[in-house]
Structure formats: C-alpha cells, structure tokens
C-alpha cells in the first residue's frame, strides 16, 4: 500500500448508525466522521382553495432543530435545517447530515442560482417589451444547477481528502499508477464508495408557477413532486412517510397541511436520535416566507396528544403564523 493511502474501518456509533475511521499509513493522520447526522426534514406541496376557486400554492417544511456534527450534539439549537437559498429566491433547501457541508453547498448553490437568473434575464432582454414580467429560470435549469453544485462539491472533497495528500490532481492518475504496478486498489475502492454524509431536499416555484421538489445524495438526484405531495429525509424518514402517505393530501387548507406535516414531524421522533425541537416555515409563491411560531408549536403538541392525535378545529386554531416576510 502506498504511503498515506486511506483505509476504512467501521465502528458502532454510540448515538446510532455507524462512523468511519480513516486511518493513514504510519499513523500520520486519522479523521473520524459521523456518516449521517440524525435528522428529520419534511417538505410538502399544498394547494389551498379556501379563499376561492383558484388554488394558492404553498410549500410547507418542517425539521427537527437538533444539531449534530461529529460527536457533538445540541438537542435544540434553533437552527433551521430548511432555509431559503437566497433572499429573493423562490426555493427552499433542506438537509439531513453534516451541517458544514450544507452551509458550503447552500452558498455555492445560491451563487449559481444568481448567475442563472442573470443569464435568463439577459437572454429575455433582447425580446422583452414594456410591461413584461421579469423571467425566472425554468425548473429543470434550477434542478440541474443544484445537481452540478452537489457533484462539484463532492468531487472537491474527494480531491482534498484522498488525492491532494498524494500530490494527485484527479482520480484518473490512480488508474495510471495501478497500470504501473503500484497497489492503489484500496484507495480506488475507498473513493468509489465514498459517502459525503448528506442528503438534500429542495422545493420551490419555477417559471409559470410550476413547482419542483427533488432530493439528491450520493445515489443521485430524484424527482419527488410527481411521486408524492410530501416527502421526508433523514433518520426519521420512515416514520414520517408512513403517516404522510396515508393522510396527507395535496389539496387542503394551509392550516390542514401544516397540521399534517407537523404531526409527521412529531411521529418521526420515534426514530433514534431525532430531536423534539421543531422548526417550521411556509414558502409562498411571491417568495415571501411565514414561520409557524415556536409558541404555537409548543401549545399545539399537548393538545394533539390529549385529543388522541385527531384533527379538530381547536387544534387548527392553535396554529399561528408569522407575517409574510422576505427573510
């Protein structure tokens, strides 16, 4: 084995799951990583017709606020694992996994989205007439931008972790080394099976009011909008999805949608290490957001538990939202 090549051992994680220990030759470097931080993040599409025949679309999102990185965990950090991509964006991005990866990817995606929006506006300016609305990128363009940012970031981490210590610029050089009889098989396998340790979920409003909802991780990008009106990621995914698949409806009042998503978040807490702290926000088509207040969530939970977890008017009345805001 070449000097500095990484070898991986799996060890039980006392907080659930497992972590990988990348030990390097001669004990020069050792890094311990949690493979997947424990989370629940839910995103759902709602078409509210309570104010007329024309449906108002919303994207409702909920998450636990437990923050984990490495062996450090804060039970209720107040940190929202679903955030607007940028101030004037009509897109939400959420994560389950290492928070530092999310921060870096969100910043890169925000820049990519701004460049994409500028390009669309520039292209439209050649044929625009007075009174035309400012165009926005097509949904597929935004999705492709996220996929590109995720892939580039993952490749950069692989270079930093595996290739830079050996003075290599790309993985193709490993194949060349192997062809010259240098044993790099373990390192090639390590790169091939590398887990970035994060899953992303994105939802938002594209051109002409179209809605997109996708997830992306090391297994690739998947469209979630057409398969289900609500989707969850993280350790609490199975518990949340069992509830949402059975009861969540795409066409419901906004409060009913918030109720079902909040209920799914509470039920997901049965999964190992999902925090009870809860954050919730609503993205509107005008790119404003509303937050379900912490006070109303705190008041809602005991009512929900006492009333046999059944939707009732008094439970819906307990939910209150902040005023729409660009932030």
What pLDDT does residue 32 have?
A: 31
What pLDDT does residue 2 have?
A: 38
**Residue whose structure tokens are 């991780």:** 217
Of 290 and 207, which is predicted with more confidence?
290
Length of the chain: 327
pLDDT band of 327, cuts 50, 70, 90: confident
What pLDDT does residue 137 have?
A: 85
> Which contacts (CB < 8 Å, 24+ apart) does range 222-230 have?
223/143, 224/43, 225/45, 229/44, 229/45, 229/46, 230/42, 230/43, 230/44, 230/45, 230/260, 230/261, 230/264
CA 295/CA 300 separation, integer angstroms: 9
Q: Is residue 83 part of a domain?
A: yes
Of 201 and 189, which is predicted with more confidence?
201
Q: Name the strands in the sheet holding 6-12, side by side, starting at the edge strand that comes first in the sequence.
A: 6-12, 18-24, 30-34
Total domains in the fold of the chain: 1
Tens of pLDDT along 131-174?
A: 666 678 888 999 999 999 999 999 999 999 999 998 888 878 88
Among 22-26, 288-292, 323-327, where is mean pLDDT lowest?
Answer: 22-26
Res 130 pLDDT > 70: no
Tens of pLDDT along 271-280?
A: 988 999 999 9
Res 6 pLDDT > 70: no
Task: Write out the residue range of the structural domain in which residue 86 sits.
Answer: 6-318
CA 122/CA 112 separation, integer angstroms: 15
| pLDDT, mean of residues 252-272 | 94
Q: Is residue 327 part of a domain?
A: no
Contact 197, 203 (CB under 8 A): no
What pLDDT does residue 78 have?
A: 82
What pLDDT does residue 170 have?
A: 82
Q: Is residue 326 part of a domain?
A: no
Domain of residue 84, CATH code:
3.60.20.10
6-12 and 40-48: which strand pairing? unpaired
What pLDDT does residue 24 have?
A: 30
What pLDDT does residue 27 have?
A: 31
Contact 313, 324 (CB under 8 A): no
What pLDDT does residue 67 have?
A: 81
Give the CA angle between residues 35, 269, 225 to the nearest 5°.
75
Res 82 pLDDT > 90: yes
Q: Is residue 325 part of a domain?
A: no
Give the CA angle between residues 58, 255, 263 to the nearest 5°.
100
Q: Which residues contact 107 (CB under 8 A, 6 or more apart)?
A: none
| pLDDT, mean of residues 296-318 | 83
Q: Is residue 29 part of a domain?
A: yes
Q: Is residue 1 part of a domain?
A: no
What pLDDT does residue 37 have?
A: 52
What pLDDT does residue 51 have?
A: 83
What pLDDT does residue 105 have?
A: 97
Contact 231, 59 (CB under 8 A): no
What pLDDT does residue 180 have?
A: 82
Give DSSP secondary structure letters for 246-304.
Answer: HH--SBS-HHHHHHHHHHHHHHHTTSTT--S-EEEEEEETTS-EEEB-HHHHHHHHHHH
Tens of pLDDT along 198-251?
A: 999 999 998 776 789 999 999 999 999 888 899 999 999 999 999 999 999 999
Contact 204, 89 (CB under 8 A): yes
Tens of pLDDT along 12-71?
A: 333 333 333 333 333 322 233 343 456 899 999 999 998 888 899 999 999 999 887 666
Give the CA angle between residues 104, 45, 55 to the nearest 5°.
135
């Amino acid at each position: 084995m070449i000097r500095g090549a990484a070898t991986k051992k799996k060890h039980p994680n006392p907080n659930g799951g497992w972590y990988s220990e990348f030990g390097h030759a001669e004990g020069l470097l050792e890094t311990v990583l949690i493979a997947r931080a424990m989370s629940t993040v839910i995103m759902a599409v709602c078409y509210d017709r309570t104010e007329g025949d024309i449906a108002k679309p919303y994207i409702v999102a909920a998450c636990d606020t437990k923050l984990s990185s490495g062996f450090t965990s804060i039970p209720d950090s107040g940190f929202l694992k679903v955030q607007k991509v940028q101030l004037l964006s009509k897109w939400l991005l959420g994560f389950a996994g290492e928070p530092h990866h999310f921060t870096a990817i969100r910043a890169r995606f925000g820049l990519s989205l701004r460049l994409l929006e500028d390009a669309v506006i520039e292209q439209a300016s050649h044929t625009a007439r007075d009174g035309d609305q400012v165009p926005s990128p097509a949904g597929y363009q935004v999705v492709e931008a996220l996929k590109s940012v995720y892939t580039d970031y993952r490749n950069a981490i692989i270079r930093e972790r595996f290739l830079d210590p050996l003075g290599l610029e790309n993985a193709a050089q490993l194949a060349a080394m192997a062809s010259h009889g240098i044993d790099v098989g373990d390192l090639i396998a390590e790169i091939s099976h590398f887990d970035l340790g994060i899953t992303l979920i994105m939802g938002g409003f594209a051109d002409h009011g179209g809605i997109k909802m996708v997830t992306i991780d090391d297994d690739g990008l998947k469209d979630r909008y057409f398969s289900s009106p609500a989707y969850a990621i993280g350790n609490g995914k199975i518990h949340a999805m069992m509830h949402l698949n059975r009861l969540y409806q795409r066409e419901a009042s906004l409060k009913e949608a918030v109720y079902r998503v909040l209920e799914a978040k509470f039920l997901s807490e049965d999964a190992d290490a999902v925090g009870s702290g809860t954050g919730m926000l609503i993205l509107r088509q005008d790119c404003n957001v509303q937050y379900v207040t912490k006070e109303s969530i705190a008041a809602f939970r005991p009512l929900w538990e006492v009333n046999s977890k059944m939707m009732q008017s008094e439970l819906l009345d307990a939910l209150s939202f902040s005023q729409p805001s660009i932030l």
